C-alpha cells in the first residue's frame, strides 16, 4: 500500500474511452441572435476538419501567440467521455501476464497501474490494435512494454519494433525495457542517430526481440538491408504527435508499408488531432481508442474562435457580440496596457458599461473597476493578463480573447476566469 508515485485516485485525472472522434458540425450558437448586425459574427465552419491552417494563424514577424495551434481554442473537435475520478480496475498482479514479469514490475516499484496502463494493457494482451492518448508523464511506456514483453515471453521468436521521435526517448524506452526484462532471455537493440551505426549493425546480427529507434536511423538500416521489417509482427509508434511535428510523416509511412499486413499496431500520443486521426485510419485495424487525457481546461467551458474577414473592424465585431443578451458579464483580454485602455474607452463611447484594469492604473482605480464589474454594475471588464492573475470573479458568462494570448498557459489561465465552480462559461478567441 501507499506507493510513492500515486497516479491513481487522483481526482484531477480524468479517464475514459472513446470510440470515435467526432468533428462536430454544431455551430457556436450565437448565430441565432435576433439582432440583424450579428451577421458579422460567423461561427467557425464546423463541417469537416475542425480547423483550418491557412489564413488563420497570422504569420507576421514574431507575432505573439501565433504559434499556438488554433484548434486549441476550440473544444468541439474531440469528444472524450465524461470526466471521472480514476480508480484502477486492475492491479499488475491481476493482469494475465507471466509471473516473473509481474515480479520485475514490482521490483521496479510499480504497484498500481497508471490510468493509461490500466485501460490499454488488457486490450493489448488480447492482441487488439490500440490508440492510447494520455498526457506526458503518465506511464505510456510501460503501457505498451508490459504486454509486449509478455507476448515475447510466450513466443521467443516474436519481434517488436518501437519508433520514437528522439534519441533520448528511444534510449529511455530501451532502458525501461531492460529493467523489465532483467534476467529473461529477451534482447533489444537501440538504433538511434548520433551513435556509431557500425555497432548497431553488428548488434542486429545477433538474436533480438525488440528494436527501438528513431525514424531516420531505422530507415537508414532498412536501406542498408540490416533491418527487415517484414519480420516484425508488432509495432509501436510512440509520441506520434511529436513525430508528426518533427516532420517524420513520410518515414512513418515508409516503415508501415514495409511491415506485414497482419500485424499488431499500437499508437501512443499526448494529443489527438485530425492529422493523428488520419494516420490511425491508415495504419491501424479496428483500433480500440483510449483517452485518459486530463483535460487542460475546465470541462464546463465552451471554447470557440471568432474569425475576422480581411478588413473587418474588430471592435465592430466585438460590439455585435456584446449586445447579445447572453453576454451578461464579459471579461475581455488584450495584450498591452495601451490597447486595453483604448478598447475600454471605445466601448464606453459606444454606450457599454465597461471598465479596465491594467498596469498603468493605480491600485484604487483598478479596485474600483473590479468592484463595479463584480457587482454587475459594469457589464464588461477589459484586462491585461498580468492584471487579471488570480482574479476570482463569480458569474463571468464570457471570456473574450480580443488579442491572442502569448502562450497556451496564458490561454488556459484567461479562460479559467469563466466556468468556475462547475458553472458553464464560454470563451471566444479572435483570430485572423
* Residue 420 CB, nearest approach to ligand ADP (Å): 29
Q: Which of 140-148, 254-262, 285-293, 373-381 is the region at the interface with ligand ADP (rule: CB under 6 A)?
A: 140-148
Could you tell me which residues come within 8 angstroms of residue 423 by beta carbon, excluding any fewer than 6 positions away? 300, 395
CA dihedral sign of residues 103, 105, 109, 114: negative
Please tell me the distance from the alpha carbon of residue 357 to that of residue 374, in angstroms, as a whole number.
13
Q: What is the per-residue burial (b if ≥16 Cβ within 10 Å, else e) of 65-96?
A: bbebebbbbbbbbbebeebeebebeeebeebe
Burial class of residue 140, CB neighbours in 10 A (0-12, 13-18, 19+): buried
5 binds, among Mg ion, ligand ADP, none (CB under 5 to 8 A by kind): ligand ADP
117 binds, among Mg ion, ligand ADP, none (CB under 5 to 8 A by kind): ligand ADP
114 binds, among Mg ion, ligand ADP, none (CB under 5 to 8 A by kind): ligand ADP
Q: Would you count residue 291 as binding ligand ADP (CB under 6 A)? A: no
* Residue 140 CB, nearest approach to ligand ADP (Å): 3
E strands in 298-384: 301-307, 330-333, 354-357, 380-383
Binding string, residues 90-129; x marks residues near ligand ADP by CB under 6 A:
--------------------x--xx--x------------
DSSP 8-state code for residue 163: E
Q: Would you count residue 134 as binding ligand ADP (CB under 6 A)? A: yes
Angle (CA) 207-211-213 rounded to 5° is 150
Q: Of 293 and 426, which has the nearer Cβ to Mg ion?
A: 293
Q: Of 140 and 233, which has the nearer Cβ to Mg ion?
A: 140
99-107 vs 140-154: helix axis angle to the nearest 10?
150
DSSP 8-state code for residue 17: B
75 binds, among ligand ADP, Mg ion, none (CB under 5 to 8 A by kind): none
Number of Cβ within a 10 Å radius of residue 317: 21
Q: Would you count residue 141 as binding ligand ADP (CB under 6 A)? A: yes
* Residue 13 CB, nearest approach to Mg ion (Å): 17
344 binds, among ligand ADP, Mg ion, none (CB under 5 to 8 A by kind): none
Q: Quote the cell numbers at residue 399.
A: 471570456
Binding residues (CB under 5 A) for Mg ion: these are: 140
* Residue 150 CB, nearest approach to ligand ADP (Å): 16
Q: Of 12 and 136, which has the nearer Cβ to ligand ADP?
A: 136
End-to-end CA distance of the chain: 53
* Residue 8 CB, nearest approach to ligand ADP (Å): 9
* Residue 179 CB, nearest approach to Mg ion (Å): 15
Number of Cβ within a 10 Å radius of residue 278: 13
Q: Of 51 and 110, which has the nearer Cβ to ligand ADP?
A: 110
User: What residues line the site for ligand ADP (CB under 6 A)?
Assistant: 5, 7, 110, 113-114, 117, 134, 136-142
Amino acid at each position: 500500500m501507499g506507493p510513492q508515485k500515486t497516479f491513481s485516485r487522483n481526482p484531477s485525472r480524468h479517464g475514459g474511452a472513446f470510440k470515435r472522434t467526432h468533428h462536430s458540425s454544431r455551430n457556436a450558437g450565437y448565430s441565432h441572435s435576433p439582432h440583424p448586425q450579428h451577421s458579422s459574427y460567423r461561427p467557425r465552419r464546423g463541417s469537416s476538419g475542425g480547423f483550418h491552417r491557412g489564413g488563420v494563424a497570422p504569420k507576421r514577424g514574431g507575432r505573439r501567440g501565433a504559434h499556438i495551434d488554433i484548434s486549441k481554442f476550440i473544444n468541439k473537435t474531440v469528444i472524450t467521455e465524461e470526466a471521472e475520478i480514476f480508480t484502477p480496475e486492475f492491479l499488475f498482479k491481476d493482469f494475465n501476464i507471466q509471473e516473473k514479469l509481474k515480479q520485475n514490475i514490482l521490483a521496479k516499484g510499480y504497484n498500481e497501474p497508471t490510468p493509461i496502463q490500466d485501460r490499454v494493457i488488457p486490450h493489448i494482451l488480447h492482441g487488439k490494435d490500440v490508440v492510447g492518448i494520455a498526457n506526458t508523464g503518465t506511464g505510456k511506456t510501460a503501457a505498451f512494454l508490459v504486454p509486449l514483453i509478455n507476448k515475447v515471453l510466450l513466443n521467443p521468436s516474436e519481434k517488436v519494433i518501437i519508433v520514437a521521435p528522439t534519441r533520448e526517448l528511444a534510449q529511455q524506452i530501451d532502458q525501461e525495457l531492460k529493467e523489465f526484462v532483467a534476467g529473461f532471455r529477451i534482447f533489444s537493440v537501440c538504433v538511434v542517430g548520433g551513435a556509431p551505426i557500425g555497432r548497431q549493425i553488428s548488434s542486429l546480427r545477433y538474436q533480438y526481440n525488440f528494436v527501438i529507434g528513431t525514424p531516420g536511423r531505422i530507415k537508414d538500416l532498412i536501406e542498408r538491408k540490416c533491418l527487415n521489417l517484414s519480420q516484425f509482427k508488432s509495432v509501436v509508434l510512440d509520441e506520434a504527435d511529436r513525430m508528426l511535428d518533427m516532420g517524420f510523416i513520410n518515414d512513418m509511412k515508409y516503415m508501415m508499408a514495409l511491415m506485414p499486413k497482419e500485424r499488431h499496431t499500437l499508437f501512443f500520443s499526448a494529443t489527438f488531432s485530425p492529422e493523428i486521426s488520419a494516420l490511425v485510419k491508415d495504419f491501424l485495424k479496428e483500433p480500440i481508442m483510449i483517452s485518459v487525457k486530463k483535460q487542460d481546461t475546465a470541462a464546463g467551458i465552451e471554447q470557440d474562435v471568432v474569425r475576422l474577414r480581411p478588413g473587418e473592424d474588430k471592435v465592430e465585431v466585438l460590439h455585435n457580440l456584446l449586445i447579445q443578451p447572453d453576454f451578461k458579464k464579459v471579461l475581455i483580454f488584450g495584450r498591452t496596457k495601451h490597447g486595453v485602455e483604448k478598447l475600454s474607452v471605445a466601448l464606453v463611447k459606444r454606450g457599454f458599461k465597461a471598465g479596465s484594469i491594467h498596469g498603468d492604473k493605480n491600485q484604487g482605480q483598478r479596485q474600483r473597476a473590479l468592484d463595479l464589474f463584480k457587482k454587475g454594475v459594469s457589464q464588461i471588464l477589459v484586462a491585461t493578463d498580468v492584471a487579471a492573475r488570480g482574479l476570482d470573479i463569480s458569474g463571468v458568462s464570457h471570456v473574450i480573447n480580443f488579442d491572442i494570448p502569448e502562450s497556451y498557459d496564458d490561454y488556459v489561465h484567461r479562460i479559467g476566469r469563466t466556468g468556475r465552480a462547475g458553472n458553464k462559461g464560454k470563451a471566444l478567441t479572435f483570430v485572423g
